[in-house]
Structure 1
Amino acid sequence: MSGLPNLTSDDHVQGRPGADLTLVEYGDYECPGTGRAFGVVERLQLAFGQRLRFAFRHFPLVDENTRAMPAALLAEAAADAGAFWGMHALLLAHQDRLEDIDLGRYAEQFGLPDTGGTRAHHQRVERDMDSGKANGVTGTPAFFINGARHHGGLEFDALSEALHASGG
């Protein structure tokens, strides 16, 4: 499937632009599967090195996970301060502590003024969600490899094999 839009300057990306492989994850900060996927993605990045570019897109499952949207908004506030990936890691490491008081403490750690999120932050998360919905995402984590939806397992071996099959 080539329907996954190209990465844009709005995307949160790690890795070099000319990488052979692009892995896009739609995730929810309160979703246990997204939490488990964090370590898998880190291992994939180590294994594939410069050949892999990774992008994270927000897909808070707001009907199931009431703290996912506030966490995504905080991640966007951190992005404005150049600290998206640090906040991303912190939120996923503390999925069981995403109440307002916790998010306020995380914001303080990063020197952020508040956790409510601006209109631009809301729009940014909505763009990710719209992109996910347009590409058939209904749950998290959802992965795309070089634009094609990955329907296999979410453990390291399955994703690694799929990346190799895509040309890596």
Structure 2
Amino acid sequence: MNNEALKRLGTWVAVAVALGLMVWGLALLGSKPRAVTAGGALQDPVTASDHAEGNTLATNILVEYSDFQCPACALYYSLVKQITAAYGGRLMVVYRYFPLTTIHPNSAISARAAEAASRQGKFWEMHNLLFERQKDWSPSPDPTSLFADYAVEIGLNKDQFIADLNSAEVAARVQTNLESGERANVDATPAFYLNGKKLTNLQSYGDLEQNIKDALQ
């Protein structure tokens, strides 16, 4: 191989490496919680149509925008459960969908699965299973059958669940949550808003708990 050919080969290798690093960086950006830049405020107030647990009459409200296929969201799932168990008597905890479809191909259908379950009164049961079994369904090219099994497991009517999963109404609800997150400047998942203000630099349960304690004082 002559020098000119070697130079061309070296150029192509450098381009390939750079593209690989870009893809890897974008994947991390979408799933890793990080500090907020500008505009960290909730734009759409919580309503009766939101999925909420804890004290649904509480004036202190924690809103989470999350993606069921996001690894970081699965980690924070257990932290939010601890917060709800410890402070749910004085805190409302709200979940909103924010599927990052460009890097998580099953994020939209998993959000629809949770919303479909909510049509039969089992949102939180499906929410929990999706996070707890993320590693089972996440790599699937089509997790529909797995989600249908989960629906049966939590006592849903399977046919109704499948119909709702594929309905325009359920898809529209997920899209409404996504647009709400965009207005609130969600730039990574999970994103938390406490009493309308976006929380930043959350690295542990202690960080999240301290914000809750400060709000409850």
Q: Structure 1 residues 127, 154: CA separation in 2 closer, same or farther (over 3 Å shift)?
A: farther
Q: Structure 1 residues 150, 43: CA separation in 2 closer, same or farther (over 3 Å shift)?
A: same
**RMSD (Å) for aligned C-alpha atoms:** 1.6
Residue 154 of structure 1, CA deviation? 4.1
Find the partner of 2:213 among 156, 164, 167: 164
Find the partner of 1:82 among 114, 121, 134: 121
Residue 40 of structure 1, CA deviation? 0.4
Q: Structure 1 residues 100, 18: CA separation in 2 closer, same or farther (over 3 Å shift)?
A: closer
Deviations 1:34-64 (A, max 9, x none): 1111110111112213111100000010001
Which aligned segments of 4 or more residues in structure 1 are displaced greater than 6 angstroms?
none
Matches within 5 A, 1:1-150: 3-98=42-137, 99-109=143-153, 110-113=156-159, 114=162, 116-150=165-199
The structure having more radius of gyration, on CA atoms, is 2
Greater mean alpha carbon deviation, residues 126-135 or residues 6-15: 6-15
Q: Structure 1 residues 119, 160: CA separation in 2 closer, same or farther (over 3 Å shift)?
A: same
Q: Which segments of 5 or more consecutive residues in structure 1 lack a partner in the other structure? A: none
In 1: Cα distance, 2:175 partner to 2:147 partner: 20
Q: Which segments of 5 or more consecutive residues in structure 2 lack a partner in the other structure? A: 1-39, 138-142
State the identity %: 29
In 2: Cα distance, 1:52 partner to 1:157 partner: 17
Structure 1 or 2: more helix by fraction: 2
In 2: Cα distance, 1:160 partner to 1:42 partner: 12
Counterpart secondary structure, 1:57: strand
What is the letter of the counterpart of residue 23 of structure 1? Answer: L
Give the paired residue count.
Answer: 168
Counterpart secondary structure, 1:161: helix
